[in-house]
Amino acid sequence: LCRQRNLSPDQQLIAMSLIGDYPFAVHNVMFVPTLLSQATPAQQKKWLEPAKNFAIIGTYAQTELGHGTYIRGLETTATFDPATQEFVLHSPTITASKWWPGGLGKSSNCCVVVARLITHGKDYGPHTFLVQLRDYETHQPLKGITIGDIGIKMGYDAVDNGFLRFDHVRIPLENMLAKNSKVTPTGEYIKPKHDKLSYGTMIHVRAGLVNLSSQALKIATTISIRYSAVRRQSELESPNKEVQVLDFKMQQYQLFPLLAAAYAFHFAGARMVSFYTSFLAKQSQGDIGMLAELHFTSAGLKAYATELANAGIETARRCCGGHGFSKACGLTDLYESFSPACTYEGENQVMYLQSARALIKALQAVSEGQPVFAVLGYLSKPTLPAWAARLPADLNETGNIIQLFEHRAKRLVQHAAATLKEFGSRGQSPALAWNSSALELIAATKAHCELYVLNSFADTLRSATVAGTSFHGALNNLFQLYAYAAVERNLAEFLVDGYVADFQVALIRAKVQQLLASIRPHAVLLVDAFHLSDNQLNSSLGRYDGNVYEHMYAWAQREPLNKDQVPQAVKDYLQPLMREGRARLTSKL
Amino acid sequence: LCRQRNLSPDQQLIAMSLIGDYPFAVHNVMFVPTLLSQATPAQQKKWLEPAKNFAIIGTYAQTELGHGTYIRGLETTATFDPATQEFVLHSPTITASKWWPGGLGKSSNCCVVVARLITHGKDYGPHTFLVQLRDYETHQPLKGITIGDIGIKMGYDAVDNGFLRFDHVRIPLENMLAKNSKVTPTGEYIKPKHDKLSYGTMIHVRAGLVNLSSQALKIATTISIRYSAVRRQSELESPNKEVQVLDFKMQQYQLFPLLAAAYAFHFAGARMVSFYTSFLAKQSQGDIGMLAELHFTSAGLKAYATELANAGIETARRCCGGHGFSKACGLTDLYESFSPACTYEGENQVMYLQSARALIKALQAVSEGQPVFAVLGYLSKPTLPAWAARLPADLNETGNIIQLFEHRAKRLVQHAAATLKEFGSRGQSPALAWNSSALELIAATKAHCELYVLNSFADTLRSATVAGTSFHGALNNLFQLYAYAAVERNLAEFLVDGYVADFQVALIRAKVQQLLASIRPHAVLLVDAFHLSDNQLNSSLGRYDGNVYEHMYAWAQREPLNKDQVPQAVKDYLQPLMREGRARLTSKL
Ligand SMILES: Cc1cc2nc3c(=O)[nH]c(=O)nc-3n(C[C@H](O)[C@H](O)[C@H](O)COP(=O)(O)OP(=O)(O)OC[C@H]3O[C@@H](n4cnc5c(N)ncnc54)[C@H](O)[C@@H]3O)c2cc1C
Ligand SMILES: Cc1cc2nc3c(=O)[nH]c(=O)nc-3n(C[C@H](O)[C@H](O)[C@H](O)COP(=O)(O)OP(=O)(O)OC[C@H]3O[C@@H](n4cnc5c(N)ncnc54)[C@H](O)[C@@H]3O)c2cc1C
Ligand SMILES: [Ca+2]
């Protein structure tokens, strides 16, 4: 709000997508959608129009100073008072202060508040309430409400993430968002019909984060690959002719799998969205079966995609050498605005573990001969003793790639289940055994997600829009690189049971080398295909025209410090110091 | 300089240690030491006193816009003119502009410049020259000199990293730093006696970076482990009693190996420094043999330690959940100031590859029956078919741990050499084959460095200061965790040749679990032992007294935005927008 940044429109878009680098992001992405999904038609009628016209600016306040992950632990209470037909909102402790909501500190005058609903002395857990925070005219906080900005954080300089406390603040009964559950005037609690009703929205939000991960990787690889084609450093073969750093094997090995991931997440995100769309169609016919299938995968995918993209931005920046640290590169800002995606909308470790529950359940179902979701079909396939690929050409078979990842995912789910069981048999309670097996559970989820992404990619390659086009070959190389680089990264998981043998490791290594070489000549074209404008990239290093150095030089000239040859700070501090030093020396002579 | 930050004194110390978050860092850490190591006694007499009295403030300008890693490619020239007994400094292109030196932009009035020495038409490559940049009285740039700030970058807001261009600037002959090589008045070039003379300083600088990595991890783990002991989130066993997040297995699995690394790098850095000190003693007797031994390892160690610490800061921050992103946590600033250490003083990938050259050479020497450095003794040990540890208790033997890592390092060096050879036999030139084998070469160097660090740790455990003390048990747990967590992280490297069998993988897994559980009760004590003051940590989350929430709340109140309930920006932009919205709605009614 009051601090300045130089984000490109596209970086802003990324930032906006969930939490927002501008004060309306949470208004648009959380406040309005929550009204749409949780408010009754009457409530929507009352608040949606003002919200859409920015007569009210809202935010979504769930997280508290003391609680984020564990929503049942939220301390803010909304106690129903039948005498006045009001809820009394209260923050009993400092840790009950709402903390982090974007736009809460200074901009918003309204808010969806998540608070524990209490009526007739009974605690029904977290529910949502619409609360006016500030006077619509003066913008001063209403009585009993303390609001402010939570202070400076990494990135998001333009967003006033805020805190909020209630001292027995009264709101009318009709401000409880009552589409799913509600309280009657006499204080009876009526619970929601379905507990899966929120799945759809969650999938949609998580698909958004997979797309965001793709977008972040597109920006990162465009900047880093273009720069690596401009940057020349060291001689390789010809004397007096320095090579493009993109010719260094490690540069390729670091950047090309990220390029592949940018495409892979694009397809995976699209698959999730189309899944969600066809769900909406079926839902109208009362069929919500397919929803649960993607719901649990989507938690893991959120974690998997954001984690890989977050690390990828860092890798891409480091691949730019020293200039990667300059704001002229653009990747430090991208990192700052993207990185929180690993934590908000569900902390990644927590998301992986949430997904793992469904995997363990499904394995149990398989062992009992019950049907499982299509996406888990691999759990009931027979286990083969060894990977089928034996000749270099076999590594080009998509079937062999999928088989490899299905085997590994299945084995890791089994291993996690066995670990759980073992800790249980040693006397640990289910909760403790779950915690003791966290590493194995997370490995299983990651393997499951990697398979999901590979399947989305393979489906796309087979689809009408890609199959048979000139783009198919290049995409197929990226698909294979995505897969085999993942194998090399997690090699032990493929080796441990002897499924992949030493000679196959060598085949994979050779294949990766060959893929890097095949992708090299097209690398710049493959990032150009993302069609990111120079404006979106906001990077001297990643410019389309490749005039990196001229642009960096010109950019530096615009640094405000350069307005004066001798800035005030030098006059005030350094010049006296230097004068003193000279005087001391002269007096010594 | 003109931008503000809130770094703690210790974060400043970290920053200062090499590049500096204040304008004198490069003066103290690069400028003065360069005079000490490369200037003649006469030159030292002339410049050292003024430098020490800050009558002159200097920096070290090597990197150019176009060249950092490849020093032979530097474009700035220093051409000797025998007629006037001067060097003419010139920047022929934009890419020849010096770029990045700390304090160059606005603060320094002097500079050590690295430029290609040309005399009698012959190019002798990069040499160092002392150049006055600004008038000592007015601080205005001298004729022919263009200087400025390179603009905003990640972190280091207080340092004026600068650019510098020369337009035929003349400096006297005696400004070439001439301790090692020099030019006579007639323009004859006299080359240095030893090419290993600079090794000592380099080891010292790199040991400094290993220590810096330790220091960064000490800060990161202190903050994150203390906070994880305060933060309670979710119930595990007892209803209505949330657990400390430090009890979550993944939290331990992420943080405790970093704690171990903080100690490990402390010992490795100390070993390097003591090595250097005993070298200085022997050097006076003309013996520089032991220098080369550490020189090559130190390049790899610099990369290994900074890489692990850099990733560790990020991990520690993410372990703080949402609050990790607040500047009140302190870890985002630590990341910004530490991260460039992966790039400056030798980009990490380049450093690994540099180290690898010596490993490959040593293996060749071993195969020819020639002696190798002590630190490479493992290359000539016989290869055992399987790891000796067969029972859980065997995993406690330090000998078994070292054997495991010696085997893996040797195998990876052999594998890298074989890969090199294979690419050669397929017709690639040595330079190309080297590039094609980069991944294998780097894996070998990492394994070598990991072994070096483990040996330093093991030596410390055996040393008089630790053996037999009450601290020994706790340190020994950290040593073992450092080792076995590294095995799990790189498991395939231990599995691929069957040296570690499946049952041993299970033993290692169980051992890691046991170590995490043993370390858990002492974790907070083990970070308290670093004795970092609250001032040094500058973190609400990592405070010694554990009053995290009170402190965060108080910290937020001090945010300047909170001075006004309705800041100017809201008055200027949001209030009109909201008024307009309301007006639109009213007119619709
Ligand atoms: C930039 C930004 C914007 C935000 N915007 C909003 C907003 O608009 N509205 C809003 O309401 N909130 C917002 N948040 C808050 C965000 O949603 C929470 O920070 C997030 O959900 C993480 O929760 P936490 O902070 O409680 O993490 P914690 O749960 O405290 O995490 C700490 C550590 O404990 C571990 N852990 C916790 N529970 C478990 C478990 N059960 N099992 C295993 N490990 C566990 C985690 O893995 C993590 O390593 C924002 C946060 C950020 C950083
Ligand atoms: C904060 C900061 C402070 C600095 N301070 C100073 C200072 O005071 N004085 C000064 O002189 N300089 C300074 N520098 C510059 C710094 O020393 C260089 O940026 C650093 O040496 C890296 O070189 P580069 O930028 O040319 O990277 P590049 O070499 O351009 O690296 C780009 C990519 O190419 C790869 N690559 C390059 N060459 C090879 C090779 N031969 N083999 C394999 N891969 C290769 C790298 O691995 C990297 O991924 C500073 C830099 C920073 C970020
Ligand atoms: Ca910043």
Confidence of residue A22 (pLDDT cuts 50, 70, 90): low
* Nearest CB neighbour to B431, from listed A148, A155, A236: A236
Cα distance between residue B444 and residue B434, in whole Å: 13
Percentage of chain B exceeding pLDDT 70 = 95
Q: Quote the pLDDT of residue B193.
A: 79
pLDDT at A23: 56
Domains contained in chain B, number: 2
Q: Which of A67, A500, A143 is nearest to B323 (CA)?
A: A67
Q: By mean pLDDT, which of A10-19, A360-369, A495-504, B215-224 is the weakest?
A: A10-19
pLDDT tens digits along B447-489: 999 999 999 999 999 998 888 888 999 999 999 999 999 999 9
List the beta bridge partners of residue B89: B78, B169
Tell me, in angstroms, the distance from the centre of ligand 1 to residue A306's CA. Answer: 15
Cα B528 to Cα B517: distance, rounded to the nearest angstrom: 19
- Rounded Cα distance between B411 and B391, Å, is 24
For the cut 90, the answer to whether the pLDDT of residue A198 exceeds it is: no
Determine how many CB atoms are found less than 10 A away from the CB of residue B132: 16
- Is the predicted pLDDT of residue B17 greater than 60, yes or no? no
pLDDT over threshold 70, residue B8: no
Q: How confident is the model at residue A55, as a pLDDT?
A: 93
Percent pLDDT > 70 in chain A is 95
Per-residue pLDDT band at A276 (split at 50, 70, 90): confident
Question: Do residues A217 and A275 share a domain?
Answer: yes
Local confidence band at B286 (pLDDT 50, 70, 90 cut-offs): low
Using one digit for the tens of pLDDT, what is the confidence trace for A201-251?
A: 788 889 999 999 999 999 999 999 999 999 999 999 888 899 999 999 999
Residue pair B189/B51 in contact by the 8 Å Cβ criterion: no
Nearest to A224 by CA among A541, A545, A547, A515: A541
- Predicted pLDDT of residue A9: 36
Kindly state if the Cβ of B100 falls inside 6 Å of ligand 2: yes
CB count within 10 Å of CB B87 equals 27
pLDDT at B19 over 70: no
Which residue matches tokens 């033993």? B507
SS3 A78: strand
Sequence-ordered strand ranges (E) for A6-137: 58-61, 77-81, 86-90, 98-99, 110-119, 122-132
Above 70 in pLDDT, residue A15? no
> Residue B167 domain-assigned?
yes
Decide if A349 is inside a domain: yes
What angle separates helix B199-230 from helix B289-318, to the nearest 10 degrees? 20
Tokens of B159: 């340092």
Statement to judge: residues A60 and A100 lie in one domain = yes
**How much is the mean pLDDT over chain A?**
92
- Tell me whether strands B77-81 and B110-119 are parallel, antiparallel or unpaired: parallel
Residue B32 dihedral angles phi and psi, to the nearest 5°: -60, -50
**Rounded to a whole number, what is the distance in Å from the CA of A442 to chain B's nearest CA?**
9
A123 Cβ contact partners less than 8 Å away, ≥ 6 residues apart: A116, A117
**Per residue in A232-253, is it b (16+ CB within 10 Å) or e — as a string?**
bbbeeeeeeebbbbbbbbbbbb
Predicted pLDDT at A451: 98
Residue nearest to atom 45 of ligand 1 (CA): A350
Q: Are residues A272 and A173 in the same domain?
A: no
pLDDT of residue B550: 98
**Token reading at A14:** 């990324």
Residues of B in contact with A249 (CB under 8 A): 435-439
Inspect the interface and report whether the beta carbons of A250 and B69 lie closer than 8 Å.
no
pLDDT on residue B158:
83
- pLDDT digits over A168-187, tens only? 999 999 999 999 899 999 99
Instruction: Say what the pLDDT of residue A12 is.
Output: 38
Chain A 424-463, CB below 8 Å of chain B: which residues?
429, 431-432, 435-439, 442
Q: Which domain CATH number covers A302?
A: 1.20.140.10
Looking at residue B364, what is its pLDDT?
Answer: 96
Supply the DSSP symbol for A466: T
Residues B261 and B304 in one domain: yes
Q: Which of B509, B525, B541 is the last residue of a domain?
A: B525
| A293 and A162 both lie in a single domain | no
The token duo for A90 is: 């209260």
Q: Are the C-beta atoms of B341 and B249 separated by less than 8 Å?
A: no
The minimal CB distance from B553 to the residues A94, A141, A342 is found for: A94
Ligand 2 binding pocket includes B44 (Cβ within 6 Å): no
pLDDT of residue A279: 80
B587 touches chain A (CB under 8 A): no
Query: If you average pLDDT over residues B240-258, what whole number do you get?
Result: 97
Residue A19: pLDDT band (50, 70, 90) is very low
Note the ipTM here: 0.95
For chain A, the maximum distance between any two Cα atoms, rounded to a whole number of angstroms, is: 97
Residue A379 lies in a domain: no
Answer yes or no: do B16 and B133 share one domain.
yes
Find out whether the beta carbon of B461 lies less than 6 Å from any atom of ligand 2: no
- Residue B108 CA from chain centroid, whole number: 25
Q: Which atom of ligand 2 is nearest to the CA of B348?
A: 47
Cα B231 from Cα B248, distance rounded (Å): 11
- Give residue B293's pLDDT: 80
The residue whose CB lies within 8 Å of the most ligand 1 atoms, and thus the one to mutate among A350, A439, A441, A445, is A350
Confidence of residue A21 (pLDDT cuts 50, 70, 90): very low
Which residue reads 């984000």 in tokens? A7
For the cut 90, the answer to whether the pLDDT of residue B421 exceeds it is yes
Average pLDDT on A61-83 reads 97
Cα–Cα distance, B468 to A157 (Å, whole number): 52
Same domain, yes or no: A15 and A141: yes
Judged against a pLDDT cut of 50, whether residue A564 lies above it is answered with yes
3-state secondary structure of A281: helix
Partnered with residue B165 across adjacent β-strands are: B146
Q: Give the separation between CA A138 and CA B78, rounded to whole angstroms.
A: 67
Q: Is A581 in Cβ contact with B154 (below 8 Å)?
A: no
| Domain CATH number, residue A32 | 2.40.110.10
Is residue A4 in some structural domain? no
Which two three-digit tokens encode residue A246?
A: 């993109």
Categorize the per-residue pLDDT at B281 as very low, low, confident or very high, splitting at 50, 70 and 90: confident
Considering the domain architecture, whether residues B61 and B168 belong to the same structural domain is answered as: yes
| Pairwise CA distance, residues A275 & A188, whole Å | 38
pLDDT recorded at residue B298: 94
Phi, psi values for residue A85, rounded to 5°: 60, 45
Please tell me if residue A49 touches chain B, with a CB cutoff of 8 Å.
Answer: yes
Ligand 2 pocket mutation, candidates B17, B34, B63, B338, criterion most atoms within 8 A of CB:
B63
Structural domain ending residue among the three candidates A156, A190, A224? A190
Closest residue to A561, CB basis, from B105, B344, B585: B105
Cα(B75)–Cα(B93) distance, integer angstroms: 8
| Confidence at B425, pLDDT banded by 50, 70, 90 | very high
Q: Which residue in this structure is represented by tokens 């009457």? A: A42
Residue of B327, B556, B585 lying closest to A49 (CB–CB): B585
Q: Which residue has the tokens 């190309």?
A: B432
Count how many residues are written for chain B: 589
Q: Which two tokens stand for residue B574?
A: 């949001």
* Average pLDDT, integer, range A432-458: 98
Of the candidates B491, B466, B497, the residue with the CA atom closest to the CA atom of residue B479 = B466
End residue of a domain, out of A190, A217, A239: A190
* Tens of pLDDT, residues A308-367: 999 999 999 999 999 999 999 999 999 999 999 999 999 999 999 999 999 999 999 999
Range of the domain at A95: 9-190
Structure-token pair, residue A560:
């405000």
Q: Which residues in B lie closer than 8 A to residue A32 (C-beta atoms)?
A: none
Q: How far is CA B402 from the centre of its chain?
A: 25
CA pair distance B155, B331, nearest whole angstrom: 12
pLDDT 10s digits, B540-566: 999 999 999 999 999 999 999 999 999
CA A33 to chain centre: 19
The answer to whether residues B104 and B228 belong to one domain is: no
A345 has catalytic annotation? yes
Higher-confidence position of A198 and B98? B98
pLDDT in tens, B187-214: 999 998 776 767 777 888 899 999 999 9
Residue with tokens 């850490």: B29
Burial (Cβ within 10 Å: 0-12, 13-18, ≥19) of residue A151? buried
Please indicate, yes or no, if residue B4 is contained in any of the structural domains: no
Instruction: Look at residue A1 and tell me whether its pLDDT is greater than 50.
Output: no
Q: Is A71 on the interface with B (CB under 8 A)?
A: no
The pLDDT value recorded for residue B197 is 66
Establish if A23 touches chain B: CB-CB under 8 angstroms: yes
B156 lines ligand 2 (CB under 6 A): yes
* B572: DSSP letter: I
Which residues from B are below 8 Å from A431, CB to CB? 235-237
Residue B249 domain-assigned? yes
Q: How far is the CA of B263 from the centre of ligand 2 (A)?
A: 28
**DSSP code, position A520:** G
Least confident among B184-198, B277-291, B330-344? B277-291
Which of A537, A528, A13 is closest to A320 using CA atoms? A537
pLDDT at A343 (0 to 100):
97
Q: How far, in Å, CA of A2 to CA of A11, rounded?
A: 19
A150 or B295: which leads in pLDDT: A150
Identity of the amino acid at B482? Y
Nearest Cα residue in chain A from B429: A237
- Checking if the pLDDT of A113 tops 60, the result is yes
User: Which atom, in ligand 2's list, is nearest to the CA of B67?
Assistant: 26
Distances from the Cα of B132 to the Cα of B143, B145, B169, angstroms: 11, 10, 10
Tell me, what amino acid is at B172? P
Same domain, B129 and B212: no
With bands split at pLDDT 50, 70 and 90, how would you rate the model's confidence at B283? confident
Residue with tokens 């888990």: A376
A385/B6: higher pLDDT: A385
Per residue in A399-443, pLDDT tens?
Answer: 999 999 999 999 999 999 999 999 999 999 999 999 999 999 999
* Assigned domain for B456 exists: yes
Interface test with A, best of B7, B435, B490 (most A CBs within 10 A): B435
- Indicate if B138 and B236 belong to the same structural domain: no
Instruction: Report whether pLDDT(B10) > 60.
Output: no
Q: Please work out, in degrees rounded to the nearest 5, the angle formed at the alpha carbon of residue A301 by the alpha carbons of B232 and A360.
A: 70
Average pLDDT, chain B: 92
Taking CA atoms only, the protein residue closest to ligand 1 atom 34 is B245
Question: Which positions ≥6 away from A23 have C-beta within 8 Å?
Answer: A1, A57, A102, A103, A106, A107, A108, A158, A159, A160, B574
Interface check A535 vs B, CB under 8 A: no
Confidence label for A292 from pLDDT (cuts 50, 70 and 90): confident
Sign of the CA dihedral with B3 first, then B6, B8, and B10 last: negative
Helices in A24-147 by DSSP H: which ranges? 25-26, 32-38, 41-52
Contact B559 A152 (CB under 8 A): yes
Residues A112 and A132 in one domain: yes
Q: Nearest Cα to B365, choosing from B413, B408, B426?
A: B413
Domain-located, residue A389: no
